[in-house]
Structure 1
Amino acid sequence: MIQSCGPGMKILLMDKETTAVVSTVYAQSEIMEKEVYLCDRLDNISNRESLRHLKCLTFLRPSQENIHLLAMELKSPMYGSYFLHWTNVISKSDVKRLAEADEQEVVREICELFADFIPLSPHCMISSIPVGPVFAEGDLLADGLTHNVASVIISFLLAVKKYPIIRYTEGSMPTQKLADKIHNLINKESNLFDFHGRNASRPVLLILDRRDDSLTPLLNQWTYQAMVHELLTIKNHRVSLANAPGIHKDFREVVLTPDNDTFYANNMYADFGAVGQSLRQLVEEFQAKAKTHQKVESIEDMKSFVENYPHFKQMSGTVSKHVAVVGELARLNEKYHLLEVSELEQELACHSNHSASLQKLKQLLDNNKIRDEDALRLVLLYALRYESHSNNDIVGLVSKLKSRGLSQENIDTVLKLLKFGGAKKRRSDLYGSDPVAVTKRLIKGMQGVENIYTQHTPWMKGIVEDLLKGRLREGAFPTFGMTRSSGASDMYRPSEVIVFILGGVTYAESLAIHNINRAENRLAAVVGGTTIHNMKSFLVEINAFNTKQKSHGNA
């Protein structure tokens, strides 16, 4: 985009969504190195001054609001020339509208650069359009939301030049409706999907329903990236440490991205214990280098110091940043007894031992050192696992939450969760009741687990593995627009899989895809979602679903 307009001083105009995309991928210093001296928002017209000597790059979503604002801008241009770039397909009527507004003929270029998504890693992306709670109308997916999510997926497919076979979750009306919309958009823009080798082995776009696995977003996490998001929340690679006691002002907000942080790239999927060991080694290495920098006695020493100083300064920032982040995680872990909580979480998620689990759960609920949100988390996991058990004590556990002083809104979440993703709602075999799943679990148990806090594997991982092996049942995940008689086959083995979780993905699922790719020794699968969840954001989804369900029913 920057190269297309040649040398010279430039301004980059974005909207709210594209600002998030760009800030996730590039640091502002990197953009400035490309002669982009100003970054601003298109809607900030009252605070922008006319600078006719600048070239203007726009990077915008083709929304009606942006078309309107840009048309106004072109009627009274503030910059010398304009290079218009869109994150998705722009209609001919909108191009005509902009052409009519360009009375001074300042537009030099208009093109589509497909990027209606935020890339979190080489194998994980989320929508750049904030769609909010997805299942607010139960089994109905609002038309506007369907269009926005489909546009995100179309943009991604065009960015990576993939023309997929679409599969969705049987019995899930929202995933079927989304599959239908994507199929229609691909047909509408068929010329854009006319890639070289289009008729070769096609990837599969698999659309999953978040409600089939409400377990994964409820668990505490113990790998570095997922743990940071669960306890501190990552937003566009940024983490706030403002509430951490004694934190230096320079580290109240830190950036965690594997692109320019080698330590994070090497440890983002490591468990917390291994991260601590790696950080200790990094600190020791830094201390050794710091001692050598103290000895500046000759011209050669000075020369060496000046040459190595940028690297030394960068290393100093990396060490300080990760010491701050890991230190805060360790503080929260110790303060809230998260190891003890997580051990029971994993037991509830991976094993069926009702009486023992219930006893441990009651003991933890009586412990006032356990956070209220972890008390709620454990009861939610229990209710999800044992809702159909003849001796379940959901009522008694809810009573214990009341005695802890939890709000009625939080207490109501227990029943709301079962309406959202309980046994009657799920189409998945979440706890492995079928013989094949039981056998898989027994084999895994016999092989042993390296870490009791990371025993759980997201349900999605097995689905993707089955799909790559040509074993994913057509009856459970139909191919859109195809029946068995027209050639649908359980045995189709795609070379690549694109998974999209309607209702949000988690970093635990991103890790699962990373492990699949590592086992395949290639980029065999990518995963996306409407958002990236931790427990807090997932509870917002659950509460919105039940609120709208109730009002819809009353109406």
Structure 2
Amino acid sequence: MMQSAADEPLDGISATRQYVDRMVTGDGRCHGMKVLLLDSTTTQILSCVSTQSEILSREVYLVTRIDDPRRRGGSSSNGGAAGGGHSLALREEESTGHLKAVCFLRPTETNIGLLVKELASPRYSEYHIYFSGILSQSLLTLLAESDPTERVKQVQEFYADFLPINPDCLSLNCRNTLPMSYHSTSGEYAALYERNLMGLQSMLLAMKRQPAQIRYQKSSRMARKLALDVSESIKADQIFHFRRGTGSSNSSGSFMLLVLDRMDDPVTPLLSQWTYQAMVHELLGLNNSRVILRGVPNVSKDLEEVVLSSAPGQDAFFQTHRNSNFGELGEAIQKLLQDYQAKSQNTSNLQSIEDMQQFMEKYPELRSQSHAVSKHVAIMGELARLVEVCSLMDVSAFEQDLACADDQAGHLKQLMSNLDSATVKIPDKLRLGMLYALRYETAATSAIPAVKEAMRRGGVPPDGVALVDAILKYAGAKIRGPGLYGTNKDAASKFMKSFMTSVQGVSNVYSQHSPVLMETVENATRGKLSGVTHPMLVSGGRSSSNVEGMPLSQELLIFMVGGITYEESTKINEFNQANVGKIRIILGGSTIHNSTSYLEELKLMISCR
């Protein structure tokens, strides 16, 4: 059935929450107590937009995993689905026959197999099944033939096959995709490629957008293949053809899909970060909206695992300050603490029954605020400790200079000093060596062999030193596009950037770098994106470098094979904030990298032929 695109916001969290709201009510056809059956991926998706307590308040008696082996033994337990609620469990002797099952699953052969087993010996009175992506006809037929008791009441596709991290930042949480650029999409990489294709299809369907233009990064054969396969699926399947109401922002046909590859910018994932969400991910790890503080000095037991979510109603402070820099964040947390202290002091003097009643009315809010204050204070304290212990301010200043300035002799001298230093940590020495190699790979007097030897003396292990060659193999000057070090900019623009950096002073030292993505965005939204570096797909699967006369894009979905970073997400959010009502961009990627995950995937490049 053709769907309507009228008045649909370009917002990943909003789109997914709408699907979740419809699922837990069965689109009005699933009243009463129910069980929510998820798989490993849809558990993560649900966690990004809802707390477990929210789900349980919607007549959901139990949230569990369809692949939980304990279910097959007759017992069910909570699968930890949408974090933040209380754990529930059904005892073996409890009857579940009166409950209805709402299944939210990826459309995979494995999940269909689990459903077939479930329906062969059904535990619930009804099954309302929702798939997060496009279900093939063969799997649908198999499912239909496996329902002898006719317990399945509906099967629908709800396109939420991605993690909505922020309203304008989407991830597939799909790791080990960097080597796809060097392999065909058969064999061990076929499943990874299929996951990226299905995820990108789902993003388009969730946003209810049909691209007027599909463009891709010419330097990447993987970007071209993905763009081509998405284009073919749009032509072949009516579900991509949306009705456009009068209120649709897409009615002008100004929506562009732009497929990029991480290889064009190998530098951004190697840099230290200084905004809240990005710092947490880099220094502590931010996975499925969770931060593990276990083992952090002086952290209480109830703060060993905390949630940082951008979903509405979950963490107002984080939503407001996730892109605040380190200095702004410290001031904001200090104000948060002062506000809480003021409110708690106002409740300390309880002299009448009315005072007590008012206190009890405010108590849940105060208790929630107390946890929020404690959480953010604990995270900020650990970030500050790690910045000092790892000498990150000095390291980051040098990283930024390596990324933004051209001074081979000066950089080499400073690099050698850092590699010999006992205060610079081994992971930071590795990143600095790789940043130097990327910038000066083509220099006439290359010092890369000497740098690698200094890295060894400085304690970098052999597999770390080997990553210097791996990153040049993955994204060296002969592989990537031309934009990384401004080779496609004229001398005047380079001078102006250098001049602005110097006059803005040291406060800008840690934020000089701008990802290659942002130059691409600026050009795309001004109609100046070159068809030579980013061709457009035209009829018959052909590519064209002639993009003159195409309408300016007011909406863009940018998908980056190989993963994105929170620095890029922050820059996209800043761009959206500066262009409210004019241009809207959604950034998606295979995963969201910090330097650790990026280096782990680069290690796979060592074995690539």
TM-score bracket, shorter-length normalisation: over 0.9
Equivalent residues of 1:118, 1:125 under 8 A apart = yes
Secondary structure, counterpart of 1:235 in structure 2? coil
With 6-15 and 186-195 compared, the bigger mean Cα shift is at 186-195
- The 5 Å alignment of 1:206-355 reads 206-259=258-311, 260-355=314-409
Whether 2:196 is the aligned partner of 1:156: answer no
Work out the CA distance in 2 between the residues paired with 1:252 and 1:486.
53
Counterpart of 2:35 (choices 1, 5, 11) is 11
Give a deviation string over 1:462-511, Cα, whole Å, max 9, x none. 10111011010111101113568897437531111111110000001101
Residue 364 of structure 1 and its aligned partner are, at CA, apart by 1.8
Which residue identity does 1:151 align to in structure 2? M
- The 5 Å alignment of 1:133-532 reads 133-136=177-180, 138=182, 140-141=184-185, 142-164=189-211, 165-196=213-244, 200-259=252-311, 260-436=314-490, 438-448=491-501, 449=504, 450-481=507-538, 488-489=547-548, 491-522=550-581, 524-532=584-592
Counterpart of 1:83 (choices 128, 146, 149) is 128
TM-score (norm 2): 0.86
Residue 6 of structure 1 and its aligned partner are, at CA, apart by 3.8
With 154-163 and 138-147 compared, the bigger mean Cα shift is at 138-147
Which segments of structure 1 move beyond 6 Å, counting only runs of 4 or more? 483-487
Residue 541 of structure 1 and its aligned partner are, at CA, apart by 2.0
Work out the CA distance in 1 between the residues paired with 2:214 and 2:413.
46
Secondary structure, counterpart of 1:399 in structure 2? helix
Which residue identity does 2:357 align to in structure 1? K
Flag the 1:158–1:166 CA change in 2: closer, same or farther, 3 A.
same
Secondary structure, counterpart of 2:451 in structure 1? helix
Give a deviation string over 1:325-382, Cα, whole Å, max 9, x none. 0000000000010000000000001111222222222222222111100011111111
Give a deviation string over 1:81-134, Cα, whole Å, max 9, x none. 111111111123322222222111111111110011000011010115x35333
5+ residue gaps, structure 2, are 1-22, 77-91
Q: Find the counterpart in structure 2 of residue 552 from structure 1.
A: none
Residue 33 of structure 1 and its aligned partner are, at CA, apart by 0.8
Flag the 1:185–1:127 CA change in 2: closer, same or farther, 3 A.
same
Q: How many residues are matched?
A: 547
Which residue identity does 1:93 align to in structure 2? S
Equivalent residues of 1:13, 1:56 under 8 A apart = yes
Secondary structure, counterpart of 1:433 in structure 2? coil
- Give me the CA root mean square deviation: 1.9
With 48-57 and 168-177 compared, the bigger mean Cα shift is at 48-57
With 302-311 and 40-49 compared, the bigger mean Cα shift is at 40-49
Which residue identity does 2:596 align to in structure 1? K
Which residue identity does 1:11 align to in structure 2? V
5+ residue gaps, structure 1, are 550-555
Q: Find the counterpart in structure 2 of residue 52 from structure 1.
A: 97
Which residue identity does 1:277 align to in structure 2? E
Q: Find the counterpart in structure 1 of residue 13 from structure 2.
A: none
Secondary structure, counterpart of 2:62 in structure 1? strand
Work out the CA distance in 1 between the residues paired with 2:468 and 2:240.
46
Equivalent residues of 1:146, 1:177 under 8 A apart = no
Which residue identity does 1:237 align to in structure 2? S
Work out the CA distance in 1 between the residues paired with 2:482 and 2:306.
38
Residue 245 of structure 1 and its aligned partner are, at CA, apart by 1.8
Whether 2:162 is the aligned partner of 1:117: answer yes
Secondary structure, counterpart of 1:12 in structure 2? strand
Residue 7 of structure 1 and its aligned partner are, at CA, apart by 2.9
Work out the CA distance in 1 between the residues paired with 2:191 and 2:310.
34
Secondary structure, counterpart of 2:145 in structure 1? helix
Work out the CA distance in 2 between the residues paired with 1:472 and 1:285.
48
Work out the CA distance in 1 between the residues paired with 2:64 and 2:475.
42
Work out the CA distance in 2 between the residues paired with 1:320 and 1:506.
27
Q: Find the counterpart in structure 1 of residue 605 from structure 2.
A: 545
Work out the CA distance in 2 between the residues paired with 1:173 and 1:372.
34
Q: Find the counterpart in structure 2 of residue 34 from structure 1.
A: 58
Flag the 1:485–1:529 CA change in 2: closer, same or farther, 3 A.
closer
Work out the CA distance in 2 between the residues paired with 1:226 and 1:97.
44
Give a deviation string over 1:182-224, Cα, whole Å, max 9, x none. 1122122134424326773141111111111000000000011
Residue 303 of structure 1 and its aligned partner are, at CA, apart by 1.9
Work out the CA distance in 2 between the residues paired with 1:465 and 1:342.
26
TM-score (norm 1): 0.95
Equivalent residues of 1:158, 1:193 under 8 A apart = no
Flag the 1:277–1:249 CA change in 2: closer, same or farther, 3 A.
same
Secondary structure, counterpart of 1:234 in structure 2? coil
